[in-house]
A and B are shown apart, each in its own frame.
Chain A
Amino acid sequence: MHRVVRRACLLAMLVLTANVWAQDLASIEKRVTVKKLDNGLTLIIYERPEAPVFSYATVANVGAAQEVPGITGLAHMFEHMAFKGSDEIGTTDAAAEQAALKKVEDAYTAYDVERRKTVGHDDAKVAQLEKAWKDALDAAQKFVVPNEFSKVADQAGAVGMNAFTQADQTVYFFSMPSNRLELWAYLESNRFLHPVFREFYKERDVVMEERRMRTESTPFGRVLEQFTSVAFLAHPYHNGVIGWPSDLKSFSASDAEAFFKKYYIPSNLVVAVVGDVKASEALPLLEEYFGRLPKAPEPEPLRTVEPQQKAERTVVLHEQSQPVYFEGYHRPPITDPDNEVYDVMEELLSDGRTSRLYRSLVRDKKIAANAGGFSGYPGNKYPSLFTFIAFTTPGHTGPEIRAGIEEQLTRLKNEDVSPEDLQSVKTRVKAQLLRQLESNQSLALQLAISQTLFGDWKELFRSVDRVDKVTAADIRRVASKTFTADNRTVVYIDNSKPAATATATGASK
């Protein structure tokens, strides 16, 4: 009886939300204008005149996955360089600076080749070449107007200026008062028109600090780096976005320039603007500015495909920190027809206090303080990992988490998800998307990333329709094919060994 009533309520509620949803989609489409420029760059404008501000996101369809050994970390390094200005911003004399930077590169190449020689390595010569390079750096520094790009934007009222690099994309974003649209269009197109790689080697040191902060000095970062490097043998998802220290200490501004020329081509860029902007007025203006970027041939698609995993992989970090636990299973890319089945499993396992991992590992067994399973890591453009992360409660260990997760995966494979649970997930997926629309910045990011991944921003919304079609049988089928022992990679911290041993191991590296 109780159950019947509950189902009836659910049904009534669904009818309501579905209606709300349909209305909303229609109104969203009316507000969106998309224009693909002759040079291949895509502009998206979403009109939302509520307040005189706008946010934008530029998504470059290039990430750490486009790197090869020797230049790992370079996609992220270029992201940093995109704040260093151009031939028109950040310099007192563009021509003289260009000549000085050419000398820096020549001196650096000579130094770097000598430094890395294994046969006939000569310390004195290395020191001499290093000095020559540093002298050249000092000479080039004289032409720098520091941080001019950021200062101009900040002074005009920009807020939230930032960027991030992931395995699949590099994303630039901030917000501005709407009367600064043209200044923004100038700045944003200019940084990709003629970027100048000034202060490259100092910024490399900054990135090394970022690596020390994020990856080396926190247990989470240390586990994460092991996780992807063990789970992927061949595909570039093997390399963390931050890059390997030796590459960060070696790659050059010339490497960055070559990378830029190959991948920062207009057809690899999507720019989305959301806010107090009229498409009819703004589009021609943006077209003028972004149309300046020269058309270029598209880079060849990635060749390497991760081979099928044939053996379970387990990696244990012995250190004094409390355990952090990662577990991953290879899964197909976001364009796969089963993508939304993975999304539903993510929700079911991880979203909120009704999620299965919360209820089993956190609430009942009390072996984890947090536990979740996430649909695509480290990216989703290429086949990636369904990834579980857990933080143990005191006295509990990685193997206990592993057993707890396995119990839930067995359940996913063997039992149909109840209609109520499935419906609850579907309702939440829709609501989440709706809530992402609340902020200009978040909407700009979502539109630009969806356009980049699928060639169509509307996929962001169509994905919700596909989620609606996922059945209990789909979940059992996809869980059964994915969550197998041979497809599993487990990485965790074990702090049961005395800390001194762990330290000694760390120090000997």
Chain B
Amino acid sequence: MKMLKNLSIAAAAILALAGNAQVTDYHKIQTPPLHNFTPAQPKRIVLGNGMVIFLQEDHELPLINGRAIIRGGGRDVPASKAGLIGIYAQSWRTGGTTAKTGDELDDFLEARAAHIETPGDVDSTGVTMNILKGDFDAVFPLFVDILQHPAFRQDKIDLAKTQTRTSISRRNDDPDSIRVREANKLGYGADSPYARQPEYATIASITRDDLVAFHDRFVHPNNIILGFVGDFDSAAMEKKLRAAFGSWAKGPQATKPADTGTPAKPGYYLINKDDVTQSNIAVVHPSHMMRNDPDYYAAVVMNEILSGGSFSGRLMNDIRSKAGLAYGVGGGLFAGWDHPTLFNVVMGTKSGTTIEAVNMLKQEVEDLQTKPFTEDELKRAKDAILNGFVFTMDSKAKILNQRMMLEFYGYPADYWQKYQKGVESVTTADVARVAKKWVHPDQLAVLVIGNPKDFDKPLTSLGSVQTVDITIPEPGANNAPKSAAPAAAATPAANTPDAIALMKKVQQFVGGKAVIDSVKATHQVADLTMKTPGGDMQMESDTTTRYPDAVRRVMKTPMGDVTMVITSEVAFQASPMGNRDLPSSQRDTLLRGLKMDLISVLRNVEQPGYTYATSGKEKVGDVDAQVVTITGPDNGVVKWFIDPASGRILRASRSGASGTEVTDFADWKAFGAITLPASFTMTVNGEKTASGNVKSTDLNPTIDASAFEKPKQ
């Protein structure tokens, strides 16, 4: 112990020669040369079918990570199908393979802490795989299967659509996401594939056939770059990959689509958002610089001077540190790998300094052309880039990823070596020239998202302002946004106060809101009489409903029990003749009906997704009934005819597949805490089709876990 301590004192003494710990001036600290470092390059293999493979061994941890990058992405789909790549990427993985459902894949992979995912991007899609090395032989066949035999099951396409609709509905909630999206539209043009956004209508139009067609168009070995990094032997890995992919036939070669898009005119653009205390600002214009442009290196140095490092750039120094006007500020002249991008500088400032901040930001852009770049700025920027250069290759995974990117965009393998040399040679004159050539202070579109009533001055004090309407177009609506409308998410129809008041009365009549809200499930037994071509048929129905989306109905008919189960997952009918799946159209109709049933409609008064509007009075029997039109999810519509005196529902009517379906309710009585009709009569287009008497209704019954499961054959 003592010995060790002495040793470390000795070591300290030696080191103290190099660096005196009592320094009070960091300039005096010596910098020894960086250790010699030649990062290992991955092995490149090209298969006969054109697939390019990179293998990078890394034995530090018992992990293997793999990735296929595939040409073709969001920019390759038509505008009318915007959002396709998101639905495709999600349901590619969740929809499973022809051999295994997505859920089965989930179970298999999660038990091994393994991941296979299928990301989608604007110019590519991919399949990734992250595993503990011992699982390679178990998981790799699934990776191959997903590439070659995806199933795109409809239920997962539907789930992906629900997820996408959710993000559409939320896209105006966060000011940062509004800024990113709308600045892209200004800079690229709203019609550019690099700025497009999904809408409810474009999502609704996407079909499984579209996804399969996209897959068939792009997923071919000659469009794929495959890379593996981790704890494996390259020779053995190469053998496995050749065995898996060597005989995969070539397909059509993907090509990059033409660049389209009409950028917005320079000027001021305002988005009203009244629930924020901070304005989000972007100044933007198109950038046609590419990564292989000789001016690129000077642009990199210019960007470093403008907003590089942690707090070193001009923007951070002037706008954050000196003026205290922003927490976040940054940006610069971006350069594309294979398509034009943007000059884009962004910041956030409190509403009361919005105009001041816009002026400062514009001044910073002008300064790029007028305020000389000093030798000190140049040296700091170049030092920062070159000293930090080692971080472009400090892990084997990073090196592999870079090589794959270069291969994908057709850049030479020595790109990063050239980059280093290119930056070394940049002078202040180069930076000044490039700033004058590529930055256009007179071309800026200035976007402000904020609460104008709290601005220090009106935005119009700077010039003419165009208000951008970001109202989310509802399904079926004309997609062209109306100008100068308020920026909140709109609901298609509005509640009318008298309808709401009447619905509350109905809630009271039925047993009160608390009781209705407490209903998670019901179990109802009824005697039914149905008109059939062969005469009236008697049967007992036994119905278990689990809100919002599961029904199990057993019909005890003279021919035996017929069981129908509809949930968002399964839809089938079991009868003495055997089991069969119900078509999804029938399932959707029934689920939509469930969302418009008595309990659902009563529960959702003043809830999003449902609206209630009075539409005149009509006689039902001798009661002058108030008609309320109720609009629910998925465009479900039902009319209720209500006795305004008592709040009793007399009749419900809706348009069905075969005409107007009318149900008359009678004999309201208490079933436990809730009051419901004990008998009803149904007519279609005025002809009686069925009637029934309810024998029992139980609220929140215990439901057998298997009640909604498909029976095993």
Contact = CB atoms under 8 A, between A and B. Distances in A.
A456 interface: no
A322 B175 contact: no
Nearest to A19: B134
Nearest to B20: A288
Contact of A218 (B167, B174, B488): B174
Contact of A52 (B37, B169, B276, B608): B37
Contacts of A178: 34-35
Given A208-B350, A209-B325, A395-B609, A280 B276 contact: no
Interface string B132-167: 111100100000000000000000000100110111
Interface stretch (B238-246, B389-397, B558-566, B642-650): B389-397
A88 interface: yes
Given A217-B277, A394-B608, A183 B110 contact: no
Interface in B316-336: 316-317, 320-328
B350 A212 contact: yes
Interface in B572-618: 606-610
Contacts of A321: 170, 173, 275
A427 B112 contact: yes
A292 B324 CA distance: 33
B535 interface: no
A287 B321 CA distance: 33
Nearest to A157: B387
A179 B608 CA distance: 60
Contacts of A180: 31, 387
Contact of A179 (B11, B31, B60, B607): B31
A485 interface: no
Contacts of A157: 383-384, 386-391
Contacts of A432: 113
Contacts of A281: 11, 15
Contacts of B321: 146-147, 199, 202-203, 206
Given A154-B312, A434-B63, A288 B21 contact: yes
A209 B349 contact: yes
Contacts of A23: 62
Given A212-B278, A438-B61, A219 B173 contact: yes
Contacts, number: 297
Contact of A155 (B134, B275, B387, B394): B387
Interface residues of B, number: 108
Given A154-B309, A162-B310, A320-B275, A367 B567 contact: no
B212 interface: no
Contacts of B278: 209, 212-213, 216-217
A158 B277 CA distance: 34
Contact of A158 (B61, B170, B388, B633): B388
B386 to A, nearest CB: 8
A395 B15 contact: no
B18 A434 contact: no
A147 B395 contact: no
A443 B275 CA distance: 40
Contact of A354 (B30, B106, B548): B106
B384 A206 contact: no
A315 interface: no
Contact of B113 (A89, A208, A216, A428): A428
Contact of A146 (B24, B173, B322): B322
Residue of B174, B309, B326, B349 most packed against chain A (CB within 10 A): B309
Contact of A53 (B25, B163, B391): B391
A157 B391 CA distance: 9
Contacts of A435: 63, 130
A285 B113 contact: no
B569 interface: yes
Interface stretch (A224-232, A380-388, A495-503): A495-503
Interface residues of A, number: 113
A365 B568 contact: yes
Given A156-B383, A424-B111, A179 B275 contact: no
B436 to A, nearest CB: 26
A388 B326 CA distance: 32
B39 interface: yes
A364 B567 CA distance: 8
Interface string B1-40: 0000001110110011011010111100111111101010
Contact of B110 (A24, A152, A352): A352
Given A353-B94, A427-B112, A438-B63, A209 B326 contact: yes
A465 interface: no
Given A208-B350, A427-B112, A17 B61 contact: no
Nearest to A440: B394
A238 to B, nearest CB: 22
B110 A354 contact: yes
A318 to B, nearest CB: 11
Residue of B112, B308, B349, B394 most packed against chain A (CB within 10 A): B394
A492 interface: no
B380 interface: yes
Interface string B34-70: 1101010000000000000000000011110000000
Nearest to B390: A177
B309 A151 contact: yes
Interface stretch (A97-105, A302-310, A397-405, A447-455): A397-405
A300 to B, nearest CB: 32
B459 to A, nearest CB: 18
A153 B29 CA distance: 13
A46 interface: no
A212 B277 contact: yes
B21 A285 contact: yes
Contact of B633 (A51, A395, A438): A395
Given A179-B31, A284-B12, A353-B110, A187 B26 contact: yes
Contacts of B609: 394-396
B34 A52 contact: yes
B110 A428 contact: yes
Contacts of A219: 173-174
Interface in B109-136: 110-113, 130, 132-135
A50 B390 CA distance: 12
Nearest to B393: A51
A23 B326 CA distance: 49
A321 B276 CA distance: 12
B309 to A, nearest CB: 3
B166 A182 contact: no
Contacts of B169: 322, 394
A49 to B, nearest CB: 8
Given A52-B34, A88-B24, A424-B110, A205 B390 contact: no
A434 B607 contact: no
Interface string A6-43: 00001001001100100110000000000000000000
9 contacts: A20-B62, A20-B132, A51-B393, A159-B391, A178-B34, A182-B19, A183-B31, A212-B277, A353-B102
8 closest Cβ pairs, A-B complex: A395-B609, A157-B387, A284-B12, A431-B113, A288-B21, A154-B309, A205-B324, A212-B278
Interface of A: 10, 13, 16-17, 20, 23-24, 48, 50-53, 83, 88-89, 146-147, 150-159, 161-162, 174-175, 177-180, 182-183, 186-187, 199, 201-210, 212-213, 216-220, 276, 280-281, 283-285, 287-289, 292, 319-323, 351-354, 362-367, 369, 391-397, 399-400, 403, 420, 423-424, 427-428, 430-432, 434-435, 437-439, 495-497, 499, 502-503, 506
Interface of B: 7-9, 11-12, 15-16, 18-19, 21, 23-26, 29-35, 37, 39, 60-63, 94, 102-103, 106-107, 110-113, 130, 132-135, 138, 159, 162-163, 165-167, 169-170, 173-176, 274-278, 308-312, 316-317, 320-328, 348-350, 379-380, 383-384, 386-391, 393-397, 488-489, 517, 520, 548-549, 567-569, 606-610, 633
Given A147-B312, A206-B327, A364-B567, 10 more contacts: A50-B395, A155-B312, A158-B388, A180-B387, A202-B324, A206-B326, A351-B110, A364-B568, A367-B548, A431-B132
